[in-house]
């Protein structure tokens, strides 16, 4: 789908986006949007897991999820009753780069619900009983993750690719870190990393601007503390274990989870649109080459795919699938072979046009709700993307040519600079996969 194909696309227009900055440094983004009487609020604070200290990894996400478990003297039950009574929802969490607190509410209840949300952010109590309850729940979730081969493979891949880089910090950390959190650690996190100068507030939906600004100024106008600027995320030198194979030993498994990880690109890279279209051909859709070769033609697995994970400083590229132990070499060979073919020849014209129609058709659906729009605008701001990133997205996808997609594949898809992660019976796997590189075997317990 070239420029000619893009002529049939309806313009994708976002609601008007107004930005105001409070005297305390909080940046407010106002996006009035009707007709439904609903509002989505998203507070994005630059203080994600990259900032978690060693020995207390995951403390940011743990603390953020406790915001609604007690604040400004309100108990968890009181907060839940107040919010749910009007059909609203509120909660907090973190990812690699941000702490995020979100609110969804009917418009007529925005004022009081915003006051509740503000209390959670400014005055979390971190009650000891809730800290211990959350600790037990988090440890139980970790146990389930480590028992699930797919989750275990994803964790192992993070270690094999990011190594000691801060992007390797898991939002939900291991048992020793979770067990070590104290209430003082949570309070210190709040004091050190939660502040208006590193925060952006997004309000999207049906509201009166003056009324909302009055509420924001009243509840968050005197917010202070936290850092003066976001911390710098260091550069990344590339994957930690290039050319190696990491096996996580689960002797009882008759199937093997496979991940192949390599260097990718950061968000907003010049080759973003050629890479997105090229990867959709390779492994980003149900009719992709990887699905066709692995599932349809050979019956090796029910699922296969590839993806780019793009962040502010760097990113990774991953191929994922699973198969029976005796088929693992065939699976790896097919996966490596399809990446090699794409790297050397790129997609065909027909493949490219098909995925351009697919992506262009899906994209508007990703912007239908207030929550989705707040997230999309937050991404544009956080990753310093052009203002036209959202409105021109489909046109830029449609404008990608076969030579551009092929050049991006040749430049960014891996050769030998990749790590292979397998979760399965190590005794059976090790002699089978030594031909792919030096093999290291570890136990699931190393992720506790």
Does residue 95 fall inside a structural domain? yes
Domain boundary among 187, 220, 253: 220
pLDDT digits (tens, 9 = 90+) for 217-260: 999 999 999 999 999 999 999 999 899 999 999 999 999 999 99
Q: Do 386 and 430 reside in the same domain of the chain? A: yes
Nearest CA to 233 out of 172, 168, 182 is that of 168
Cα–Cα dist 321/422, whole Å: 10
**CB-CB contact of 374 with 31 (8 Å):** yes
Q: Do 296 and 351 reside in the same domain of the chain? A: yes
Cα–Cα dist 96/318, whole Å: 18
Does residue 232 fall inside a structural domain? no
Q: Do 38 and 76 reside in the same domain of the chain? A: yes
Dihedral sign (CA 373, 375, 381, 385): negative
Does residue 441 fall inside a structural domain? yes
Total of domains in the chain: 2
Q: Do 89 and 182 reside in the same domain of the chain? A: yes
Q: Do 140 and 182 reside in the same domain of the chain? A: yes
Predicted model pTM: 0.92
Q: Is 433 helix (H, G, I), strand (E, B) or coil?
A: helix
Encode the chain (448 residues) as per-residue pLDDT tens digits.
444 344 556 667 777 889 999 999 999 999 999 889 999 999 999 999 999 998 899 999 999 999 999 999 999 999 999 999 999 999 999 999 999 999 999 999 999 999 999 999 999 999 999 999 999 999 999 998 889 999 999 999 999 999 999 999 988 888 999 999 999 999 999 999 999 999 999 999 999 999 999 999 999 999 999 999 999 999 999 999 899 999 999 999 999 999 999 999 999 999 999 999 999 999 998 899 999 999 999 999 999 999 999 999 999 999 999 999 999 999 999 999 999 999 999 999 999 999 999 998 888 878 889 999 999 999 999 999 998 899 899 999 999 999 999 999 999 999 989 999 999 999 999 999 999 999 999 999 888 8
Q: Which residues make beta-bridge pairs with 249?
A: 424
Structural domain range at position 384 = 245-447
Taking the CA of residue 247 as centre, how many other CA atoms within 13 Å lie in the half-sphere pointing to its CB? Answer: 25
**CB-CB contact of 236 with 314 (8 Å):** yes
Cα–Cα dist 20/267, whole Å: 25
Q: Do 256 and 213 reside in the same domain of the chain? A: no
- CA dist 312 → 101, 362, 399 (Å): 20, 25, 25
Decide: residue 77, CB within 10 A, 0-12 exposed, 13-18 middle, 19+ buried.
exposed
Q: Do 95 and 161 reside in the same domain of the chain? A: yes
Q: Do 249 and 120 reside in the same domain of the chain? A: no
Domain boundary among 220, 254, 279: 220
Q: What is the CATH number of the domain that holds 186?
A: 3.30.830.10
Cα–Cα dist 174/178, whole Å: 6
Q: Do 211 and 290 reside in the same domain of the chain? A: no
Does residue 238 fall inside a structural domain? no
Does residue 375 fall inside a structural domain? yes
Nearest CA to 14 out of 427, 440, 366, 384 is that of 366
Q: Do 295 and 179 reside in the same domain of the chain? A: no
**Edge to edge, what strands does the sheet with 245-249 contain?**
304-310, 315-324, 255-263, 418-424, 245-249, 439-442
Does residue 64 fall inside a structural domain? yes
Q: Do 163 and 208 reside in the same domain of the chain? A: yes
Q: Do 93 and 192 reside in the same domain of the chain? A: yes
What does the DSSP assignment read for 164-228?
A: TSGGG--SS--HHHHHH--HHHHHHHHHHH--GGGEEEEEEES--HHHHHHHHHHHHTT---S-S
């Amino acid at each position: 789908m070239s420029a000619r194909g893009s002529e049939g696309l309806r313009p994708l227009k976002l609601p008007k986006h107004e930005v105001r900055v409070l005297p305390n440094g909080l940046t407010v983004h106002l996006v009035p949007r009707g007709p439904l009487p609903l509002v989505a609020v998203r507070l994005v604070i630059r203080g994600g897991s990259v900032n978690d200290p060693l020995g207390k990894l995951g403390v940011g996400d743990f603390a953020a999820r406790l915001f609604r478990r007690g604040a400004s003297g309100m108990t968890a039950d009181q907060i839940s009753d107040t919010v749910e009574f009007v059909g609203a929802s509120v909660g907090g969490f973190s990812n690699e780069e941000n702490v995020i607190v979100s609110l969804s509410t009917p418009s007529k209840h925005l004022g009081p619900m915003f006051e509740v949300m503000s209390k959670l952010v400014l005055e979390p109590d971190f009650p000891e009983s809730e800290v211990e309850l959350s600790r037990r729940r988090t440890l139980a979730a970790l146990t389930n993750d480590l028992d699930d081969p797919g989750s275990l493979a994803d964790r192992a891949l993070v270690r094999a690719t990011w190594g000691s880089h801060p992007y390797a910090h898991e939002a939900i950390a291991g048992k020793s870190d979770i067990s070590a959190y104290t209430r003082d650690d949570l309070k210190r996190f709040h004091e050190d990393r939660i502040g208006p100068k590193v925060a952006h507030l997004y309000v999207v939906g049906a509201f009166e601007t003056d009324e909302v600004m009055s509420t924001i100024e009243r509840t968050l106008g005197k917010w202070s503390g936290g850092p003066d600027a976001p911390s710098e995320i260091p550069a990344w030198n590339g994957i930690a274990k290039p050319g190696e194979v990491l096996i996580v030993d689960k002797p009882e498994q008759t199937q093997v989870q496979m991940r192949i990880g390599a260097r990718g690109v950061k968000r907003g890279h010049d080759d973003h649109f050629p890479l997105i279209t090229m990867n959709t051909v390779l492994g980003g859709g149900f009719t992709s080459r990887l699905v066709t070769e692995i599932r349809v033609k050979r019956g090796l697995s029910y699922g296969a795919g590839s993806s780019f994970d793009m962040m502010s400083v760097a990113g990774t590229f991953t191929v994922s699938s699973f198969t029976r132990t005796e088929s693992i070499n065939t699976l790896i060979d097919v996966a490596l072979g399809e990446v090699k073919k794409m790297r050397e020849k790129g997609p065909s014209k027909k493949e490219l046009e098909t995925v351009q129609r697919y992506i262009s058709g899906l994209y508007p659906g990703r912007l239908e709700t207030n929550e989705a729009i707040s997230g999309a605008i937050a991404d544009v701001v956080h990753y310093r993307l052009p203002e036209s990133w959202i409105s021109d997205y489909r046109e830029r996808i449609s404008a990608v040519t076969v030579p551009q997609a092929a050049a991006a594949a040749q430049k960014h898809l891996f050769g030998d600079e990749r790590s292979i992660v397998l979760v399965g019976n190590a005794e059976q796997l090790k002699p089978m996969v030594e031909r792919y590189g030096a093999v290291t075997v570890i136990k699931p317990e190393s992720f506790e």
